[in-house]
Structures are given as C-alpha cells and as structure tokens.
Amino acid sequence: MKYSIKKIADFLQGTIEGDPEVEIGNIAKIEEAQKGDITFLANPIYTPHVYTTNASAVIVNENFIPEKPVKANLIKVKDPYQAFSSLLQMVSQDTYSNKTGIEEPCKISSSAKIGKDVYIGAFSYIGDKVHIGDNVKIFPGCFVGNHTVIGDNTTIYPNVTIYHDTVIGNHVTIHSGSVIGADGFGFAPNNGSDFKKVPQIGNVIIEDFVEIGANASIDRATMGSTVIKRGVKLDNFIQIAHNVEVGENTVIAALTGISGSTKIGKNCMIGGQVGMAGHIKIGDNVKVGAQSGISHNLKDGEIVVGTPALPIRNFKKSTIIFKNLEDLYNRIKKLETELNQLKK
C-alpha cells in the first residue's frame, strides 16, 4: 500500500489540513500508529490520542477543531467511520483487483463457462456446466459443483465448498471454509427404531451484495430454495438450515443457528449465539439480543432478548426481579415463620 494523503483525501471527498504529498504505507489504530500510517477518530473517547499519535494522517470529522497542536496531517470528512471503512475497502480491492488467470493444477470442466478477468487459484475444482461471471476471484482449494452459477465481481476465498445447482449473485463475498449447499438435516423416523434420510433436492440462492463469514454453513432446501436475499451480512460460524429465507439487509452475528423453514424479514439485526426454532416467521426490522432463544413468531419492529425470548422491556424487569430472588426468598421464609407462630 502506497498512497499520498492527497489521493486518499480525494477518494474520501475530504479536505486536508497539512501536507498533501506525504505518503501513507499502512493503516493502524490511533493509539498504535507510527510514521507512515493513517488512522481515524470517530469515537470521542479517543480524542486525546489525536495529540499524541505518531500517525502521519488522521481522518477526523469536518467539524473537528484541535484544542492544541496536532503533529499529524488531518483529513476532514463528514463521517470518519464511514470514510475509514471506504478506505479499507479501497485497499482491500487494490490487493486483489489485478489478480487474474488460472493457476495450475486446477480441474475445470470443458462444459464450464468462464467470464473475463477471472482468477481461479490452484487446486480448485470447477464442475460441469458451471457459469462464472466476469471479474470473479476464486482462491485456491475451492470446490464449485455442477450447474452452479456465480455472478460478476464475486470473491470466493480459499477452501470454500459450493455444492451443485447453487446460484450466487453479483458482488458476493464468501470467506474461507464456508460450505454452501450441503444437505439439509432431513431424517424421518423409520419404524421407531432408526431414521431414514429424506433426499434434499433443492438448492441455495444467494442474491447480490451478500457477505458470508468464515466457516458458515448454508444448507440446500429439501425442495425449492434456501434464499439469502440482497445485502445480507452473515458473520463467522453461522448455520442456516434448509428452506430458510433471510430478508434483505439483515445482519446476523456469529454462532447463530437458524432452523429449517424459518423466514426472517428485512433489515433485522440478530446477535451472536441466537437459536431459532423451525417454521417460524420473523418480521421486518426485528432486533434479537445475543444468546436469545426464539421459539415463536415475531412481529415487525419487535426487540427481544433472553431464552425464551421476551420483549426487551419485560426482560429488563425480569432481570431486576431475578437479581433480587434470594432476598425475596428469605423474606417469604421469614413471613411463613411468623405466620406459623401466629397460627399457634
């Protein structure tokens, strides 16, 4: 990474206070940054570090006025956090944007269609009648099953497994170790003594601008499709079961498990380690606290937490009562003793 402060400021549509020709070679946290680094200030808690940081440049709010001298050059923007995120994205894209070609050894079916400016890393397997769009990056050790479609500008990091008939949209990112399209967990009791496997003949559809974290699992549908809609962001170690539908722009944190045929609405925020029962419906704009257990439908806009999940207001009241249970227990025992004495 080598960018002048001017180039960064132009990209972020910011203004410079300082030397625009200084070169930036790295991105760092404000309290750890050294000469040649760029950092940012978004949280006021870190304001004292602006005056002590060794960074060559700091991205700050356009309204920031230093109370004392600042050694670093400043890039002033409307939203420092969003600007810093954009800078990270630019650097990340530059890292891989020029990577093209097919490395050896690879196995690519003669019936597969490969778009322009594609990169396929070594030890990858591309099955029959796969269609790969333009500017797709498939890193080493990936498996892409038969009849899979991958849209333009999609990035698939190392050791991802994509089963047959999967449909992946444009601008999708799938991180290392994820498995897309494995069989759903379908077994039927057989004479009460064992289980018979139910064939899973559906597929997985992942729409545009989805990001899937490392080691996530998205199962194929029994029939029809498991669907991850446009703009969804999934963290690491997430399990999405067969026939689940996740609505647009919903975000789900790590270690969450969604059981089969559950439908999640758009713009939902689901915390880490949440468990959802099957065949339930989660409305739009729902928020679910970490480690919650969801066993019933949730209406649009609900905020719930706990196991079993309660509306957040009820949960807070219950928490206060729970904290005082020992005291309440002792008071009841005392009252029982006094009552028994009165009876005597």
Query: Catalytic amino acids?
Result: 242
Q: Is 89 helix (H, G, I), strand (E, B) or coil?
A: helix
CA–CA distance, 296 with 90 (Å, rounded to integer): 42
CB contact set of 10 (below 8 Å; sequence gap of 6+): none
User: What is the CB neighbour count within 10 angstroms for residue 172?
Assistant: 24
Residue 249, CB-side half-sphere exposure with 13 Å CA sphere: 5
Alpha carbon of 101 to those of 117, 121, 123, 336: distances in Å? 7, 8, 14, 81
How far apart (Å, rounded) are the C-alpha atoms in residues 301 and 299?
A: 6
Distance CA 2, CA 195 (A): 59
Sign (positive or negative) of CA dihedral 303, 308, 313, 319: negative
The span from the CA of 41 to the CA of 55, in Å, is: 12
Gap between the Cα atoms of 70 and 16, Å rounded: 13
Burial group, residue 104, by CB count within 10 angstroms (0-12, 13-18, 19+): exposed
Tokens for 166? 């999967």
